[in-house]
Amino acid sequence: MTAPAIELKGISKSFGPVQANKDISISVAPGTIHGIIGENGAGKSTLMSILYGFYKADKGEVWINGKHTEIPDSQAAIAAGIGMVFQHFKLVENFTVLENIILGAEDGPWLRPSLSKAAKILDELATEYELNVNPDALIEEIGVGMQQRVEILKALYRQADILILDEPTGVLTPPEADQLFRILYRLRDEGKTIILITHKLREIMDATDTVSVMRRGEMTATVKTADTSPEELAELMVGRKVLLQVDKVPASPGAKVLEIENLRVTDDQGVERVKGIDLTVRAGEILGIAGVAGNGQSELLEVLGGMRPGVGVIRLNGEPLPLTGPGSDGQSRRAAHIAHVPEDRQREGLIMEFYAWENVAFGYHRDQAYQKSKLLMDNTALRQDADEKIERFDVRPANSWLTAKNFSGGNQQKIVVAREIERNPDLLLIGQPTRGVDIGAIEFIHKQIVALRDAGKAVLLVSVELEEILSLSDRIAVMFDGRIMGERLPDATTEKELGLLMAGVSGEAA
């Protein structure tokens, strides 16, 4: 019999009092796509970081192609034929694609021969695996889909036969995700072994041959994908039955909360990103904004949230909001009862080096309840408030003294959502609410959004996930190239029609 490409035996790893992995054993057959799923904080990324040499296991063994292998660092992992594409890419933004490919794998002190050799190999790899990318482009100038290709090419350039991908579609549009899986199928057919870490059950069902389920640091099951179902996997992940569809009653829209007229927004390079749009959001409804990333949705949220100036008219409960100058900042927006969950939690929603209890208060730290005096904040009150929110929103670990960077992506998102929703806003702006979030946390976050709507609040939702837009929204507006292509009711449209509108096809043609 052929030896497993990867075999982990009795792997355990603790970080202080938190045990991330508990006596985990797993076997991955060569030439297969093996999925690993679990809630955020289940220990998936820790396990793969041990395999890649980022962490050292407290106990256990790693076997590669039937041989016991010590992996003290990532160089040893690369030497063993393992490559890893992280959820947050490890690229130098002001370097070219080619320079990133050879970084750390140069042939000697002179770069020119290394670059020349890499250019030839890169061209061969790009052709063989349909990973076409401009080798001379700067990383900061290409999209996230192309950046992910660069990460895969980095691993292949180092002759990886085993490829680990951690939440690879978390920042991709649906077409980019489809292209990625076509690439993975080709890699598998060429004999590569792929480990796919994802929280998206549809991707697991469509892409993998075998799937292993983790829960709270333990391996709970390994099954053939063809022999299971999304419902069974969700229950194995969470330990209970999970609603895979949003459970909500029809909306009862009330008065206009948000009115936008002829809004125009220009980015930092002078490019007009929002081109004269009109929108209305009423109390007690969720308006979903669908569209491929980069078509003005981000800039729309930033203007409404006080992060960017704009031109036009915005009214909240009938009162105009300043779009430039005094009163147009985020603090003023919060004072006007607008809450904002930004699209990028790590760059815009959290300060990663600060404690969870500090992050729970950001933007609201001047509230009277947190003030001990005119000069001093009441840290005891801040921490108590944070602990209560962490408990209500099931943030794991339930420790407000951990820094934000020590939480998984889904639990980071819960911290941001808890901070904003708990303020009982008149208008909630929420961008990519479940990006990189597991099925249990998705269900929880969706319930919080619907509960806010049912309490008579207005919600403006931006998501690149069409399934999320269709299931959460009461009305859908589609953006393309900074304009509204049309509005639809979820039960009177299809993903195909929305996809055409997202591609710029007019409403009549769609």
What domains are there in the chain, each with its CATH number? 6-238 (3.40.50.300), 256-354+425-502 (3.40.50.300)
Higher pLDDT, 320 or 96: 320
pLDDT at 218: 93
**pLDDT above 70: residue 306:** yes
360/213 Cα distance (integer angstroms): 31
Q: How many CA atoms lie within 13 A of 330 on its CB side?
A: 17
**pLDDT above 60: residue 235:** yes
449-502 pLDDT per residue, tens: 999 999 999 999 999 888 899 999 999 999 999 999 999 999 999 888 998 898
DSSP codes joined into one string, 91-132: --TTSBHHHHHHTT--SSS-HHHHHHHHHHHHHHHHHHHT--
Query: What does residue 504 show for φ and ψ, rounded to 5 degrees?
Result: 95, 5
**CA dihedral sign of residues 482, 294, 297, 470:** positive
- Span 175-194, mean pLDDT? 87
pLDDT band at 136 (very low <50, low <70, confident <90, very high): confident
**Under DSSP, is residue 24 helix (H, G, I), strand (E, B) or coil?**
strand
pLDDT at 509: 57
Residue 115 CA, chain-centre distance (Å), reads 33
Contact yes or no for 271/295 (Cβ under 8 A):
no
Q: Which of 89-93, 171-175, 193-197, 493-497 is the least confident region?
A: 171-175
Q: Which of 290-294, 331-335, 452-456 is the least confident region?
A: 290-294
Higher pLDDT, 137 or 222: 222
pLDDT band at 216 (very low <50, low <70, confident <90, very high): confident
Q: How many CA atoms lie within 13 A of 175 on its CB side?
A: 10
**Under DSSP, is residue 73 helix (H, G, I), strand (E, B) or coil?**
coil
pLDDT at 508: 61
Which residues lie below 8 Å from residue 227, measured CB to CB, with a gap of 6+? none
pLDDT band at 369 (very low <50, low <70, confident <90, very high): confident
Left, alpha or beta for 262 (phi > 0: left; psi -120 to 50: alpha)?
Answer: left
**pLDDT above 70: residue 243:** no
**Cα angle 284-480-249, degrees, rounded to a multiple of 5:** 20
4-25 pLDDT per residue, tens: 999 999 999 998 888 999 999 9
**pLDDT above 60: residue 220:** yes
Q: Which of 164-168, 208-212, 256-260, 328-332 is the least confident region?
A: 164-168
- Span 83-92, mean pLDDT? 82
Query: What does residue 10 show for φ and ψ, rounded to 5 degrees?
Result: 60, 40
Of 289, 244, 219, the C-alpha closest to 460 is 289
Q: Which of 198-207, 217-226, 394-403 is the least confident region?
A: 198-207
Whole-number Cα distances in Å, 434 to 49, 82, 124, 463: 23, 29, 37, 9
Which residues lie below 8 Å from residue 316, measured CB to CB, with a gap of 6+? 257, 258, 336, 337, 338, 426, 427
pLDDT at 202: 84
pLDDT at 109: 62
pLDDT at 171: 64
pLDDT at 507: 60
Query: What does residue 67 show for φ and ψ, rounded to 5 degrees?
Result: -120, 135
**Under DSSP, is residue 301 helix (H, G, I), strand (E, B) or coil?**
helix
**pLDDT above 60: residue 88:** yes
pLDDT at 266: 95
pLDDT at 464: 82
**pLDDT above 90: residue 36:** yes
- Span 122-130, mean pLDDT? 82
pLDDT at 110: 60
159-173 pLDDT per residue, tens: 889 999 988 876 666
Share of the chain above pLDDT 90, in %: 58
pLDDT band at 130 (very low <50, low <70, confident <90, very high): confident
322/458 Cα distance (integer angstroms): 20
Q: Which of 138-147, 190-199, 202-211, 390-399 is the least confident region?
A: 138-147
28/444 Cα distance (integer angstroms): 32
pLDDT at 195: 96
Long-range residue pairs from 118-123, CB within 8 A, at least 24 positions apart, any chain: 118/157, 121/157, 122/97, 122/98, 122/153, 122/157
**Under DSSP, is residue 145 helix (H, G, I), strand (E, B) or coil?**
helix
Q: How much is the mean pLDDT over the chain?
A: 90
